[in-house]
Chains A and B, each alone.
Chain A
Amino acid sequence: MKNFLQKIKFDQWKAWIYLLPAVVLLLIFTVWPIFNTLRMAFWNGYGLFKELGGELTFEFGIKNFKWVVGYGGFITCLKNTMLLTVLTVPISTILALVIAVCLNAIKPFQRFLQTIFFLPYVTNSIAIGMVFEAMFNIVGFGTTMPSYGIINNILGVFGMDPVNWINAGSSYWANIAVLTVYIVWNALPFKILILLGGLQSVNKQYYDAAKIDSTPRLRVFTKITVPLLSPMIAYVVITGFIGGFKEYSSIVGIFGDDMQAVGGESLNTMVGYIYKQLGANHEGDASAAALILFAIIFVVTMINMYVSKKKTHY
């Protein structure tokens, strides 16, 4: 019996030793930062330089949170983030679903088209942002000989006036429109990949059965394809919401990290706000904002999970 216990202990030690590399890395790069974020968020007025400057005793409290919420810039960022998420998640999901269904129906160039649709996923998002900037840009704006980007040229073909999308003096909604197009385009490949994978794993016999029962195409889509794909749809919606709340690189990609041309703060998102606070050595505020963002994502994901449990079918 004693031998047996010893053996168990030894086996457990062995298991821990095998796990050690992963555990150490997780502790350093995941657990400690989370813990540290909590610590910094609840120390009133915490800042790294202040700590290094010898101010070692911070008061424990929720002053950072109060300050972040009370400061108007944060609310603007929160509004921008929410708006972009609410706009882009449904649009990209529906578009991805339609494209995936179409791709699945095409036989000859399926692989080739799949690769093309997947390209944005492997392209750097800052680089994509710069291309989008060029497409929407107006070079020499305000002069007598402005040079328009391709989007305005296309509008011109249809006899429409050029729109100031992203240059100085552009409207908020023009900026949001550009961001929406960019984010949707950037989000499509992953969603298409997941949904196409889901479609290809659907048993073909359901479609044969539907055919035998003379089911119209639209009804096949709404009554068979969508319900059978519902677990995948729930997955892309939930990850879409999480990604949406973390949106930042798109704005930097198009407007630059200072967003000078469009009035700085007014277009920023929550992650942008957190970066800004970090840059200004307001670690306490940044941590508080990060925790608020976490809380929002947590609640939204819970709601998503609750809804999808009711709506997905198996």
Chain B
Amino acid sequence: MKIVLQNLTKVFPSRNKKSNEEVVAVSDLTFTIPDGKLVGLLGPSGCGKSTTLYMISGLQKPTGGQIFFGEDDVTSLSPENRGVGLVFQNYALYPHMTVKQNILFPLQNLKGADKLDKNTMLERALEAARLVQIDNLMDRKPSELSGGQQQRVAIARALVKMPRVLLLDEPLSNLDARLRLQTREEIRRIQRETGITTIFVTHDQEEAMSISDVIVVMKLGVVQQIGKPQTVYDNPVNLFVAKFLGTPPVNVFKANVKGGKLYINGEAVLDVPGVADRDVFAAIRPEGFIPDENGAMTCELSSIEVMGRDVSIVSKNEAMLTPTIRSIVDADYKVSATAQNVKFNLKPHKVFIFDSQTEERIYFGDQTAPETGI
């Protein structure tokens, strides 16, 4: 089921009666989610990603715009009639029902032609439970389950009625770090096996990058960039996206362009052909540094962290806007820990420059804007 959001807008009225300040949670959102894909809505808290999810589910009514499931306009349809499965952040399992009763519940609501007999219902419930590997816990109450198990029950309950769309609200936020890794693989597997178009919301960029077919990066209700995770990472359209994606985060510098060269801290560090003279922000990915004794960029060495396969060089520079400059280089490079300064050359495709006013990307050399489609 393809999902189309068209000019979707959600405005919340002001809480405070005196000031008439409305809160625009989602502003003019337009994008298409292809059939059978796993899509991550990503952004910092307050960016409207959950509101978008709830509008797709029907629990919140959009102020403007339209939502299509396939060719059907579902904008005015109540959640009951949309055929979506939703996994809540806190799972919202009915505490008085066993796992089995929880999973059976949506099936028992089916009416008319869709009504199932008891055995079919049990069969379907068991099938859903097997898919998320909780078929041995069917007679437990939610309070007798761990967080991860509860989450699987919630997914099984959402899947059992074979929804057209599966929505997950911060599915991993209540799990500990180890379980989070395991569960995100699980979500990926379940989505692949069922082929249901799935949308999930997260503020964790690593989580979104690791399992999504497509990520949608949002900020203050406005979509910043949509694309394959790797594309968005390699080719961010503005400074926000560049900063939001990647661990360790991108290093940002105050810089300027003069005569086709990028200057950071007074040093010409890179050729940027085709860019007019101006003030810019330069963002360099940690893997974009090449240590070189005769390198173009000089930084003051702070510490070196050896992590086996890689070495992380932490340094400082007058022009940096991030707290430190962190570069990750291959362990083969030998850097003296006692040296005062460290010098780098830069990989052009790991360096992004942005207009100092609009923070929009300025492409140079063979860099080109990313495709906007999915």
Contacts and interface: CB of A to CB of B under 8 A. Distances in A.
A306 interface: no
Interface of B is mostly: loop
B94 A216 contact: no
A209 B86 contact: yes
A227 interface: yes
A126 to B, nearest CB: 42
A212 B96 contact: no
B229 interface: no
Interface residues on A, range: 10 to 19
A211 B80 CA distance: 6
Interface residues of B, number: 27
Contacts of A211: 59, 78-80
B57 A314 contact: no
A141 interface: no
Contact of B92 (A206, A215, A219): A206
B106 interface: yes
B79 A206 contact: no
A143 interface: no
Interface in A211-230: 211-216, 219, 223-224, 227-228, 230
Interface in A188-224: 203, 205-206, 208-209, 211-216, 219, 223-224
Given A205-B90, A214-B106, A214-B109, A313 B85 contact: no
A212 B95 contact: no
A208 B81 CA distance: 13
B96 A214 contact: no
Interface in B76-122: 78-81, 84-86, 88, 90, 92, 94-97, 105-106, 108-111
B109 A313 contact: no
B161 interface: yes
B194 interface: no
Contacts of B78: 211
A208 B59 contact: yes
Given A206-B94, A224-B94, A314-B143, A212 B79 contact: yes
Q: Quick one: which of A203, A206, A209 has the most chain B CB within 10 A?
A: A209
Given A209-B88, A212-B86, A314 B59 contact: no
Contacts of A314: 95-96, 141, 143
Contacts of A205: 88, 90, 92
Interface string A75-110: 000000000000000000000000000000000000
Given A212-B85, A213-B109, A213-B161, A313 B95 contact: yes
Contacts of B79: 208, 211-212
A261 B79 CA distance: 61
B92 A208 contact: yes
Contacts of B110: 214
Contact of B84 (A203, A206, A212, A230): A212
A213 B160 CA distance: 10
Interface of A is mostly: helix
Nearest to B105: A213
Q: Quick one: which of B78, B94, B97, B161 has the most chain A CB within 10 A?
A: B94
A214 B81 contact: yes
Contacts of B80: 211-212, 214-215
Interface string A119-152: 0000000000000000000000000000000000
A52 B166 CA distance: 84
A211 B86 CA distance: 10
B344 to A, nearest CB: 51
Nearest to B101: A223
Contacts of B105: 213, 215, 223
A204 to B, nearest CB: 9
A212 B57 contact: yes
B79 to A, nearest CB: 5
A212 B59 contact: yes
Contacts of B109: 213-216, 219
A285 B105 CA distance: 57
A208 B58 CA distance: 10
Contacts of A227: 94, 96-97
Q: Quick one: which of B90, B96, B111 has the most chain A CB within 10 A?
A: B96
Interface string B161-191: 1000000000000000000000000000000
Contacts of B161: 213
Given A211-B79, A215-B80, A314-B141, 17 more contacts: A205-B88, A205-B92, A208-B88, A209-B88, A211-B59, A211-B78, A212-B59, A212-B79, A213-B109, A214-B80, A214-B81, A214-B110, A215-B109, A219-B108, A228-B96, A230-B96, A314-B95
Interface of A: 203, 205-206, 208-209, 211-216, 219, 223-224, 227-228, 230, 313-314
26 contacts: A205-B88, A206-B94, A208-B59, A209-B86, A209-B94, A211-B80, A212-B57, A212-B58, A212-B85, A212-B86, A213-B105, A213-B106, A213-B161, A214-B81, A214-B106, A214-B110, A219-B109, A223-B94, A223-B105, A227-B94, A227-B97, A230-B96, A313-B96, A314-B95, A314-B141, A314-B143
